[in-house]
Structure 1
Amino acid sequence: MNVLVVNAGSSTLKYQVIDTKSHKVSAKGSCERVCFTGGTFTHAANGSKKVTENIEFPDHKVAIEVVLKDLEANGVKIEGIGHRIVQGGWYFGDSSLVDEDVLAKIREVAPLAPLHNNPEANVIEYCLEQYPDLPNVTVYDTAFHFNMPEVAKTYALPKDVCDKLHIRKYGAHGTSYRYISKKVAEMTNGEARKVVVCHIGSGASLCAIEDGKCMDTTMGLTPLDGVMMGTRCGSIDPATVCYLQREGGYTFDEVDEMMNKKSGLLAVTGGKTNDCRNVEELAAAGDPEAQLAFDMFVYKIAAKAAEMATSMCGMDTLVFTAGIGEHAPAVRAGVADRLAFMGVKMDHARNALRGDGAWCLSAKDSKVKIFVIPTDEEFMIASDVERIVNGK
């Protein structure tokens, strides 16, 4: 099945056309600076690539219109559309075929992810209006975590408040975790039962997966919780928010922007960089702030990995994925070495190699298997479209 996978962000729209049988990507591209002036449209199909500068995308509906018309002009066949939805809220524990009710619920839960849910909902509306015969399927980042144990997802706040405002741990990166869970099962012939996955990119989270089910994850009500990230602070004393407003005079919006866009690696390096690669380079050159940022990053990932293992009363497999997880051997080594007390032992020579695809990098006598597995959320979304359309 040829599926168009769409991922709409606050000011971008990225897409791929994937054949679920062959895994082949026949077209892909992006619309940049949506809702701003001077946009860029990048499109690759049939072996050629083109970049159109200074194109205007006043909204996401115009962006998806440009994409669909370009696909038609290039003769790219589409049999279904899959939409990445960041937040499924309290409604969706699985992907769903879009109808008016589904679309209304995506907008209802949008306050939990306003920069992502609303743009994608607008894209869905356009697709339903212009291509009513094409099935549209929504795939939620939170769905994999939907049924995690109550002890993990419940916040110790007044129950009436939590019930009224639907406050709980929702998590994120669930589509990636589902893909990794399936790959780990394939690679270990089902022997991996208690798996901690480190999805580490500019946004980072960890997940405990026992027998294919989420037992806990590090992101919470929003993606701000958990490990320190590129520009996000991760877990801190929640009273810090009140203190900053009361004593620092910061507004609600200023605190929100500070913790999401001005913290993490960027803050600890003194504003030098939010890129882990640059942090490593600066640390190697003797920059003390960069060294602290790197050490904190590794420490907090390892600490959360141990926390995730606690939810399963153990760990037999540790997986690294996403941009940093797949390409930063120093981060992997630092995390693994800190977890040596749990039986994690890395083959550092293998870890230093730049491998293609998935590979094992645990030492022969390690009690915990260690893998690097490239994630593929787009293929997972395309597969869900085929599954849902076929009624499975």
Structure 2
Amino acid sequence: MNILVINSGSSSIKFQLIQMPSKTLICSGLVERIGEKDAILNYKTDIVNLKKTHPIKNHNDGLTRVVNLLLDVDKGVIKNTDEIAIVGHRVVHGGNSFSNTTLITEDVKGQIGEFAALAPLHNPNNLIGIEVAEALFPNAKQAAIFDTAFFQTLPEKAKKYAIPNELYKKHKIQVYGFHGTSHKFVSEKAIQYLKLKTSKIITIHLGNGCSMTAVVDGKSVDHNLGFTPSNGLIMGTRSGDIDHAIVFYLVNSLGYSLEKVNTLLNKESGMYGLTGYSDLRDIQAQAEKGNEDCQLALAMNAYRIKKYIGAYVAAMNGLDAIVFTAGIGENSSVIRAMVCENMDYFGIEIDKSINELRSSEIREINTSSAKTKVLVIPTNEELEIAKQAYNLVNSL
């Protein structure tokens, strides 16, 4: 059974075509820097390794290009769309409505759309991915896998805000958590790799969107994104943690509209607001050239991560390992080194030479004497999505 997995993110589209249940990867790719004139489309099969720069305007355009590649006479891997049995979609926000993988219906799409206000950079793009896939693969089953599902195990003391109880009970205002597919995948890999019967692990997902999760014995017990994927760490264009009174100051004293504040905090803040760049590769390059704004932004980014590590060690009363994953976590030796610097109190010490190495496999970058393991684990949200979609359809 061929399953096409579409991970339609805030500024990128990841895709994989996977044969299940063998978990055989047929092809994969990434469309990144969507909306920029130098958007990049990567496409890989056993015999094709293609990288092109296109002016990809939006997610609809990007997904259409992906499907055209799959069907290409020379480079494609399928002859017609009926060869795709299931399309699995990553959906960021499912609220309390979805705790498991579900087949997509008009009602499900409606609810995904309703949650767009809580995940404005993601749910709209997730929904576009679904609607484009429905049109291009009319005979395939469409399945949604929700980022919020992994955080159903958060204890009430961790997911409830200190606001009137009615807002929690009636309106479901609480911590939902995001990047759950990634945190679930890498935490399970870490437990298997370390052969732990009991475990206390912090997973650190660093990309354009960033998040951290405290995981005890494979279950999430705390997470630093909340009601929406906008607080916590400093992200590409999102501010992360901020004093909520600043919102009122912007509105009441500086004349901002609420819509403008929302745009400011979601699309104009974070690393972009600090430096003028949202892509960490550009920021690191400028920092190396002496750009002080970029240097400070990197320091702020690492400092915020370090604070959450401390908080989660306290919450779990211990630490076996920290895991770096996702685009920045897997590829930026600079950020990993800055995060792990002066963390020996927690048993965190990295080998600088090993940290600089690149690999597509799980690897330890801690020193041999370190008490805490520091792992770099490539996430594979697409494989996790394929597994869950296959299991759902197979159980019907």
Specify if TM > 0.5. Answer: yes
Q: Which residue of 1 aligns with 2:3?
A: 3
CA contact (8 A) 1:196 1:206 kept: yes
Q: Give the total of aligned pairs.
A: 387
The one-character-per-residue Cα deviations of 1:239-277 (angstroms, maximum 9, x if unpaired) are: 1111111111111122112222222223333x3x33333
The one-character-per-residue Cα deviations of 1:7-43 (angstroms, maximum 9, x if unpaired) are: 3357875532122424313354659979x99x99876
Residues in 2 aligned to 1:149 and 1:134: alpha-carbon distance in whole angstroms: 37
CA contact (8 A) 2:85 2:139 kept: no
State which of 349, 356, 361 in structure 2 corresponds to 1:357: 361
Written as runs of structure 1 = structure 2, the 5 A alignment for 1:325-364 is: 325-364=329-368
Shift of 1:333: 1.8
The percentage of aligned residue pairs carrying the same residue is: 35
> SS in structure 2 opposite 1:319?
strand
Q: TM-score, normalised by structure 1?
A: 0.86
2:146 counterpart of 1:140? yes
Residues in 2 aligned to 1:40 and 1:187: alpha-carbon distance in whole angstroms: 34
> SS in structure 1 opposite 2:368?
coil
Q: Which residue of 2 aligns with 1:193?
A: 199
The one-character-per-residue Cα deviations of 1:315-364 (angstroms, maximum 9, x if unpaired) are: 11111111221122222122122322112122223223333421011122
State which of 87, 90, 93 in structure 2 corresponds to 1:81: 87
The one-character-per-residue Cα deviations of 1:157-190 (angstroms, maximum 9, x if unpaired) are: 1122333432111121111111101211221123
2:295 counterpart of 1:291? yes
State which of 159, 181, 188 in structure 1 corresponds to 2:165: 159
Residues in 1 aligned to 2:288 and 2:360: alpha-carbon distance in whole angstroms: 26
Written as runs of structure 1 = structure 2, the 5 A alignment for 1:246-257 is: 246-257=252-263
Written as runs of structure 1 = structure 2, the 5 A alignment for 1:105-120 is: 105-120=111-126
CA contact (8 A) 1:13 1:32 kept: no
Q: Which amino acid aligns with 1:146?
A: Q
The one-character-per-residue Cα deviations of 1:47-72 (angstroms, maximum 9, x if unpaired) are: 34596968998x94x87677557645
The one-character-per-residue Cα deviations of 1:275-319 (angstroms, maximum 9, x if unpaired) are: 333433443443333322221111111101111222212211111
Shift of 1:5: 0.8
Residues in 1 aligned to 2:128 and 2:328: alpha-carbon distance in whole angstroms: 31
Q: Which amino acid aligns with 1:266?
A: Y
Shift of 1:125: 5.1
The 3 A distance-change label for structure 1 pair 134 and 31 is farther
Q: Which amino acid aligns with 1:105?
A: Q
Residues in 1 aligned to 2:372 and 2:178: alpha-carbon distance in whole angstroms: 25
Written as runs of structure 1 = structure 2, the 5 A alignment for 1:16-27 is: 16-20=16-20, 21-26=22-27
> SS in structure 2 opposite 1:224?
coil
Q: Which residue of 1 aligns with 2:306?
A: 302
The 3 A distance-change label for structure 1 pair 303 and 27 is closer
Q: Gaps (5+ residues) in structure 2?
A: none
Residues in 2 aligned to 1:297 and 1:27: alpha-carbon distance in whole angstroms: 30
Q: Which residue of 2 aligns with 1:47?
A: 47
> SS in structure 2 opposite 1:190?
coil
Written as runs of structure 1 = structure 2, the 5 A alignment for 1:109-258 is: 109-121=115-127, 123-124=129-130, 133-191=139-197, 193-258=199-264
Residues in 1 aligned to 2:371 and 2:230: alpha-carbon distance in whole angstroms: 32
CA contact (8 A) 1:92 1:146 kept: no
Residues in 2 aligned to 1:11 and 1:289: alpha-carbon distance in whole angstroms: 23
CA contact (8 A) 1:192 1:316 kept: no
2:280 counterpart of 1:276? yes
CA contact (8 A) 2:365 2:374 kept: yes
Residues in 2 aligned to 1:240 and 1:280: alpha-carbon distance in whole angstroms: 29
Residues in 1 aligned to 2:131 and 2:378: alpha-carbon distance in whole angstroms: 32
Residues in 2 aligned to 1:109 and 1:381: alpha-carbon distance in whole angstroms: 20
The 3 A distance-change label for structure 1 pair 129 and 348 is closer
Q: Which amino acid aligns with 1:208?
A: A
> SS in structure 2 opposite 1:145?
helix
CA contact (8 A) 1:302 1:338 kept: no
Residues in 2 aligned to 1:152 and 1:305: alpha-carbon distance in whole angstroms: 16
CA contact (8 A) 2:203 2:324 kept: yes
> SS in structure 2 opposite 1:390?
helix
Q: Which amino acid aligns with 2:260?
A: E
CA contact (8 A) 1:299 1:338 kept: no
Q: Which moved more, 1:147-156 or 1:129-138?
A: 129-138
Question: What RMSD in Å do the two structures reach over aligned CA positions?
Answer: 3.3
